[in-house]
Structure 1
Amino acid sequence: MHNGNHDVIVVGAGFAGLACAHEIAKAGRRVCVIDRKRDLGGRLHTTGILVEEALANPLFTDLPAGIHHSVSSVKLYAPGLESIELTAPGYRFHTTDTPALMRWLGEQAVTAGVDMRLGCAFREAQATAHGWHLPGVGQCRYLVGADGARSRVAAYFELGRVRDLLHGVEYEYDGAGLRRPDALHCFISRRWAPGYIGWIAQTPRGVQAGLAQRLRPGAPPPDVAAFLAHVAPLVGLSIVRKPDSIRAGLIPCGGPVRPRVGRHVLLAGDAAGVVSPVTAGGIHSGLRHGAEVGRALGQALDSGIPPQASSIRAIPAWRRKRALRWAFDHLQWDWPFDLLLKSPPLRRMAEQIYFHRRGRAPSSP
C-alpha cells in the first residue's frame, strides 16, 4: 500500500475501530484502518461473547451461521458450587468462533470501502495544517485511537489513560463439548477470580474457559488450569490435553476516561474506557461508541466544526455498576454468595446485571 490522503485514520481493527470505520465509509468519506496484527484472527484479547443487543448491530448483518452459537441461559455458581439458572424471555448470549468472526468483519470492512492496513503499527503522528500525518500511512483530518486498554494513541497525545483494569486469561479446547451447551456457566469465587468471575461456555469451535481478576501489582496471573481442575467435572468438560489456544488481555473496569478528545484526535471503545465496570462487557459498548464516534466525525467533516466529547453519545453513566465495582473490589467475600445464592434479592440483582432487566426462573424439567 502507498501513502495517501484520508479523511480519518483509525488505529485498531477491533470492534470499536471497525464500527467507527463503517460509519465513516457509509458517509462516503475516505477512511483507513491500521492494525499491528497481520491476521485479525490472531493474538486475540477478547472472549468474543456477544450479548443479544450486539448481534442486532448492523455490523453483523449477514453474519454466517457457523460463526456463532446461541446460549439461552446463565448458570451462576456460588463459591461452594451450588448454582441457580437465570433466563430472560427472548434473550440470548452468543459465543463465537472469534478468529473467524474478526476475519469476517475485516473482509466486510474492505467490501464497505475501508482501506485496511494490517501489520502496520501506530508509532507517531506529525501535525499538519489540517490534521495529522502518519509516516508510512498518509495524512488525515482526524485520528481515532481504538487500540485497546493500553492505547498508544492515548499515551502519545496525552489523553485520558485507562488505570483500573482486570486481567483476563482464557483457554480454548477445540472439539470439546459441555453437558449443557445451552448455558453460560459463570463462577463467583474470591479464590479463583478476586474482583470478577470465571466462565465456561460452548462455542462453535469447542469450549472456552476463562478467569479474570482485578489487576494489582505483584498479583499472580489467573490460574485457569487449577480452576478447571476444580470445576470441569461439574459441567461435563473432560480435560485430557493442553488447550489448543490461550488468550490473555487487560479489560478496563473504571468507566470512561477523560479527556477522550484532543486536537483532531478521538478515543473509542476500550481505549476510551467504554466498558461495563461490573460485567466487563465491552463489545456491545465498543460497537455503539465506535459507531457514534464515526457519525460525529462524519458531521464534523461536513460542517468543519470539530466534535466535542459532550456531543458523542453512547457512553452510559454506569453509576450503579461503578458502585458495585467498588463493592466487589473491597467487600467481596465468598460466604454471602453461598448463603444468599437462591434468595430473591440476589437473583434479581444477577438478572439485572446479566439481562439488564428482570428475567424469570426456568420452568421445571
Structure 2
Amino acid sequence: MPDISQSFLSSEASEFFDVVVVGAGLAGLEVTRRLTQFGRRVLLIDAKQDLRQRVHTTGIFVRRSLEDFSFPEELLGPSIRDVSLYSPSGKSFSIQSPHCEFRVGKMGQLYSQMLDDCRSEGARVRLGTRFSGIEPISQTDHEPDSKNASYDVVLQSANKTDRVRTRFLIGADGVDSRVARALKLSQNKRMIAGVEKVYESSSSCETPRMHCLIDPKIAPGYLAWVVDDGEEVHVGVGGDPQRFSPLQALEDFEKWSQRWIDVPCGRLIEKRGGRIPVGGLLPKIASSRGLLVGDASGAVSPLTAGGLDPCLRLSQFAASVIDDLLDESLNEIPSLYHSRIWKGRFVKRKILRTILESIRSRFMIDFGWSALQTPLGRAFAQRIFFGRGSFPDSPSRRGSHTEPETLVNGFPTPVRGLDLGG
C-alpha cells in the first residue's frame, strides 16, 4: 500500500457523500443501486477501468435468486435443470429438477448494465480508482463512535491521490478486502482457489446440463465442473490451494472430461480465476464507520461456495441498515448488522464442508459411489444442488413498508422491510 500520509494530511476532502462503496462487483453494484434508489448520495469506486474485464465468477444464479430478483432476460443463459455427477473412474448418475434451477449470467455485460443503472439513479462512479485508507476528520473534535461522525476516505487513481468525506464506508472489495483491514474487521482465512475457461458452445445442446466431478486429486475439497447451456461452456476446477496446482488441475480435468463427458467446445472466450471464501460469514463485519458485503464479508455458502445469492441478499440488507442509520442520525451499525443474526444457520454446511475436505482418496469416492445412487443418496444430492438454502433470509428493517418490488431498467427497486427470500 502506498505511503499516503503527507498528501492525505495536507489536503482537504473535495466532496461529501453519505456512503462510499469500494468494489463494483455484484455486491457493490447492488448495494449502491439500492442506496441511490433510497435517495442517498453514493460514490462507487473500483480499481478496474472496465467492469467487463477480469471477471472472476462463473456467474451461476440459483433458483432462489431467479425467483426473488429480476434480471434482464438477455443477460441470462438458458435454464438448467439437469445435473450429472461423476466419480474419478467415470461412474456417473444424473438428477433432474422440475424447476429452472440455474442460469449462467453474462457477468461482464450484467455488471456494465448495473453500473449504468447506478449512474442513472444518481450514483457517482470512479473507475480506475483504489481505496487507500480512512481517518476521522479530527481526532480531537470527533470520537470515532460519535453520532453524525464523518470520515475522510483516501483514494488513489493514476498519479493522483485525493480524498472525499463520507458518513459510512462499505467494503465490497473481495476476498482480500482493504476496507476490512482499514476498519479492523474480520478477514477471510479459509479459501479455495478456482480457475476456469469459458468457450463458445459448439454442441447441439437440447438439454442444458451441469457436469460435476468429485475428485480429491483434481479438485481437493471442492468440485470440477463443466456447464453447457448451449450458448457457452464453462470448464473449471476449484480446491484447497495447499493441495493442488489450479492450472495443472484444469489441464488434467480437460483431458478427463474429453474422455468421460465429451462436451464439444468452440472458440475460447476468456480465462477466469480467483479465490473463494468458504469459512462462512465472518464474525465481525461492521464497525461504527462501515460494513462489509459480498466476498469481503465471507457471505458465501460454506459448502457449495455459491456467492451470488448471498451477495444480493446481504447487500439488500446492508443498504436498508445504512439508510435507517442516515435517517435517524445514529451510528450503531454493529448492533444492527452482524453475523450473529445468522448464527447456527451454517452449522450443517460447515460440517459437510469439513467432511468434503477430509476426503483424500479417490478410492473412497469410488467405494462410496453406490451409496449416492440409492434413493437416500439421490435425495441428498438433490438437496445439495436443488435446495433453497443457499443463504438464510435476512431480517426486516422496516416492517411498515411492504410495497411490491418493481423494475427499473430490468432490475428490481428496493422493498423496504421485505423478508428477503422465499
Give TM-score scaled by structure 2 length: 0.78
Deviation (angstroms), 1:65: 2.0
Q: CA offset at residue 10 of structure 1? A: 0.6
Return the offset for 1:204: 6.9
**SS of residue paired to 1:173:** strand
Mapped contact 1:177–1:206 kept (Cα < 8 A): no
Determine if contact 1:168/1:212 at 8 Å carries over to the other structure: yes
1:178–1:202 contact (8 Å) kept in structure 2 = no
Q: What is the SS of the residue equivalent to 1:245?
A: strand
Q: Which of the residues 193, 207, 210 maps onto 1:167?
A: 193
Structure 1 residue 212, shift from structure 2 partner: 0.3
Q: Cα RMSD between the aligned structures?
A: 2.3
Residues 1:145 and 2:171 are matched in the alignment: yes
2:124 to 115, 118, 121: 115
Residues 132-159 of structure 1: CA deviation (Å, up to 9, x unaligned): 2123351110000111111111122221
1:355, distance to aligned residue in structure 2 (A): 1.4
Task: Provide structure 1 residue ranges, at least 5 long, that are not aligned to the other structure.
Answer: 359-365
Which of 332, 353, 364 does residue 325 from structure 1 map onto?
353
Change (3 A) 1:3 1:173: farther
Contact 1:67–1:100 at 8 Å: present in 2 too? no
Report the CA distance shift for 1:57/1:30 in structure 2 as closer, same or farther (over 3 A).
Answer: farther
- Cross-structure match for 1:335: 366
Q: Which runs of 5+ in 2 are unaligned?
A: 1-12, 143-148, 155-161, 390-422
**Cα distance, 1:239 vs. partner?**
5.5
| CA shift digits 1:5-26 (9 cap, x unpaired) | 1100111111111121122112
1:54 correspondence with 2:85: no
Alignment match of 2:289 (pick from 259, 264, 267): 264
Pair 1:315–1:291, CA change in 2 (3 A): farther
Cα separation, 1, equivalents of 2:335 and 2:382? 31
Match of 2:27 in 1: 16
1:350 has 2:381 as partner: yes
Q: Choose from 93, 106, 131 the match for 1:97.
A: 106
1:200-256 CA deviation, whole Å, 9 max, x = no partner?
A: 11257521110000132x742252122011113433323587x43110000000111
Q: How many residues end up aligned between the 2 structures?
A: 353
Within 2, Cα distance between the matches of 1:112 and 1:203? 33
Q: Tell me the SS of whatever aligns to 2:246.
A: coil
Task: Specify the code of the residue in structure 2 equivalent to 1:344.
Answer: P
Equivalence for 1:362: none
Instruction: Label 1:220 to 1:185 Cα distance change in 2 as closer, same or farther (>3 A).
Output: same
Instruction: Give 3-state SS (helix, strand or coil) of 1:190's partner.
Output: coil
Mark the CA change 1:259 to 1:134 in structure 2 (over 3 Å): closer, same or farther.
same
Could you tell me which amino acid in structure 1 is paired with residue 25 of structure 2? G
- Asked if the contact 2:80–2:229 (Cα under 8 Å) also holds between the matched residues in 1, the reply is no
What displacement does 1:180 show? Answer: 5.9
1:134 matches 2:153: yes
- Deviation of 1:162 (Å): 0.2
**CA contact 1:83–1:341 (8 Å) conserved in 2:** no
Residues 47-95 of structure 1, C-alpha deviations (whole Å, 9 max, x = no match): 111112222444x44x142543221221122222222222233232001
Deviations 1:165-220, CA, capped at 9 Å, x for gaps: 0100010113433756511111111121010001111257521110000132x742
Higher Cα Rg: structure 1 or 2?
2
Structure with bigger RCO (C-alpha 8 Å, 6+ apart): 1
Partner AA of 1:119 in structure 2: G
Distance 1:70 1:194, change over 3 A: same
Residues 57 and 121 from structure 1, CA distance in 2 versus in 1: closer, same or farther, beyond 3 angstroms? farther
